[in-house]
Amino acid sequence: MPYCDRCGEPLSEGSHGACRAARALEPPRFCPACRRRMKVQVLPSGWRAACVEHGETASR
Amino acid sequence: MSQLSDPALAAAADQVLQTGVGLAEPDVLAVLRLPDEELPAALELAHQVRMRWCGPEVEVEGIVSVKTGGCPEDCHFCSQSGLFTSPVRAVWLDIPALVEAARQTAATGATEFCIVAAVRGPDERLMAQMRAGVAAIREAVDIQVAASLGMLTQEQVDELVAMGVHRYNHNLETARSFFPRVVSTHSWEERFDTLRMVRDSGMEVCCGGILGLGESLEQRAEFAVQLASLAPDEVPLNFLNPRPGTPLGDAPVVDGRDALRAIAAFRLALPRTILRYAGGREITLGDLGTRDGLLGGVNAVIVGNYLTTLGRAPSADLALLDELKMPVKALSSAL
């Protein structure tokens, strides 16, 4: 997957360590395949995120 | 309680612990200014106050966003404002998912489920969603329903009462003197008007705010006594979690010791109120600080996730409460 799902920038550019750390307490916001902003619903025990192009993902 | 060496705490013990009357603004400020070595004593006193005037039970709540993002207001801390370059997109939660969220919340042992919307105030579409959603939850799940839908008209207040919403959250967010630095699209007074209507309706009033918005300690003390003047049933205490794309996106996280001082100070200003851990505690306090706060005046928690960010696993919080021998408030005693 070429894009960071937190900041939307290419994973090949810069360090995304802070993004990875922050993601422990955040859902994804950008589609990792196309960097589109996703529609994200946070639920009491998880989250689900939908990219208009790549479909829905959810927390396990 | 051991002998208190600090005069501000000794005076607080005489007044708050013995009489249940909250501290005045200068005394709250004195607690907020305590040196680090006095912090354990302040937390111990706040815990004693909580135990005496509220008891050992902890109220557990879950929250969910029924309408996320796209808000027309400009609250500088909020990733759901449509005026900032936040990555949060607008999304609505449908009724089956809302009921499922309530069911998940009840399964943790929570007695409260708060439905939240990122709006200035509810329009007819949102009120219709609330009508259907609250009815469906009350039919399917044994839990008390609260709501947080922004500023209300009297008609909307009356309708929420008729739906069976028992508590309404509307945060004043910060001190009146600092509010214009945080929000420009509406006033502190407009928020207060909604709270007055909620109070008069018989719904319980839930009103708190966020620490770490750039307010001074004086303004933190001002805020505590302004909340106390409202006599809210519940005060949710948030700590700023700086969100990307918001005007406060690069603001520093509140120092953990300052957060604990604030918890003690707010408890001493509000001895009989439900004081709830809300957003930001994970990054401000971590696990150890969370424990210190529960032993320092906090008697309620939001478990699970927040509106746009994630929280600790409910099992972690419930295990901590069990370890601290703090019983979770049961639905029977909440009704």
pLDDT at A60: 81
pLDDT at B332: 64
Residue A7 lies in a domain: no
Q: Which one-letter DSSP state was computed for residue B330?
A: P
Give dist(CA B313, CA B100) in Å, integer: 17
CB contact under 8 A, A38 and B63: no
Q: Measuring CA to CA, which residue among B151, B167, B152, B150 is closest to residue B204?
A: B167
pTM of structure = 0.96
Q: Which one-letter DSSP state was computed for residue B295?
A: T
Q: Tell me which chain A residue has its CA closest to the CA of residue B312.
A: A25
pLDDT tens-place string over residues B40-74: 999 999 999 999 999 999 999 999 999 999 999 99
CB contact under 8 A, B87 and A29: yes
Computed from CA positions of residues B270, B160, B129, B111, in that sequence, does the dihedral angle turn out positive or negative? positive
Q: Do the beta carbons of residue B146 and residue B161 sit within 8 Å?
A: no
What confidence category does residue B288 fall into, taking pLDDT thresholds of 50, 70 and 90? confident
pLDDT at B22: 98
**Type and span of the H or E element at B235:** strand B234-239
pLDDT tens-place string over residues B217-267: 999 999 999 999 999 999 999 999 999 999 999 999 999 999 999 999 999
Residue A5 lies in a domain: no
**What are the beta bridge partners of residue B64?**
B115
What confidence category does residue B13 fall into, taking pLDDT thresholds of 50, 70 and 90? very high
Contact of A32 with chain B, judged by CB distance below 8 Å, is answered with no
Overall domain count for chain A: 1
Q: Do the beta carbons of residue B166 and residue B127 sit within 8 Å?
A: no
Residue A45 lies in a domain: yes
CB contact under 8 A, B310 and A41: no
CB contact under 8 A, B68 and A42: yes
Angle at alpha carbon of residue B226, lines to B223 and B230, rounded to 5°: 135
Residue A6 lies in a domain: no
- B221 is written with which tokens? 């003390």
Collapsing DSSP to helix, strand or coil, B285 comes out as coil
Q: Say how many C-beta atoms besides its own lie within 10 A of residue B18's C-beta.
A: 10
Mean per-residue pLDDT, B266-293:
95
pLDDT tens-place string over residues B313-335: 999 999 999 999 999 998 765 55
pLDDT at A40: 97
**What are the beta bridge partners of residue A37?**
A30
pLDDT at B109: 93
- B206 is written with which tokens? 């839930």
pLDDT tens-place string over residues B80-109: 999 999 999 999 999 999 999 999 999 999
pLDDT at residue B1 greater than cutoff 90? no
Give dist(CA A40, CA B90) in Å, integer: 8
The whole-chain average pLDDT of chain B stands at 96
Residue A22 lies in a domain: yes
Mean per-residue pLDDT, B308-312:
96
What percent of chain B stands above pLDDT 90? 95
- A to B CB pairs, distance under 8 Å: 66
Fold type of domain B21-334: TIM Barrel (3.20.20)
Contact of A24 with chain B, judged by CB distance below 8 Å, is answered with yes
Q: Measuring CA to CA, which residue among A37, A10, A19, A45 is closest to residue B82?
A: A37
CA atoms within 13 A on the CB side of B248: 25
DSSP letters spanning B175-186: -TTTHHHH-SSS
List own/partner pairs for B135-138 with CB under 8 A and 24 or more apart: B135/B163, B136/B95, B136/B98, B136/B99, B137/B98, B137/B99, B137/B102, B137/B113, B138/B164
Domain ranges of chain B: 21-334
pLDDT at B287: 86
pLDDT tens-place string over residues A5-54: 999 999 999 999 999 999 999 999 999 999 999 999 999 999 999 999 99
Q: Which one-letter DSSP state was computed for residue B119?
A: S
CB contact under 8 A, B89 and A37: yes
Residue A9 lies in a domain: no
- B281 is written with which tokens? 């505690």
**What are the beta bridge partners of residue B239?**
B211
pLDDT tens-place string over residues B161-196: 999 999 999 999 999 999 999 999 999 999 999 999
ipTM more than 0.90? Answer: yes
What confidence category does residue B4 fall into, taking pLDDT thresholds of 50, 70 and 90? confident
Close Cβ partners of B40 (under 8 Å, ≥ 6 residues apart): none
- The residue segments making up the domain with residue A42 are 17-58
Distances, alpha carbon A12 to alpha carbons A1, A8, B61, in Å: 10, 12, 41
pLDDT at B3: 73
Q: Measuring CA to CA, which residue among B325, B321, B331, B306 is closest to residue B116?
A: B306
Q: Tell me which chain A residue has its CA closest to the CA of residue B303.
A: A44
pLDDT at B137: 98
Q: Do the beta carbons of residue B319 and residue B285 sit within 8 Å?
A: no
Residue type, B156: Q
CA distance A46 to chain B (A): 7
A46 contacts on B by Cβ (under 8 Å): 305
Residue A1 lies in a domain: no
pLDDT at residue B2 greater than cutoff 80? no
Residue A38 lies in a domain: yes
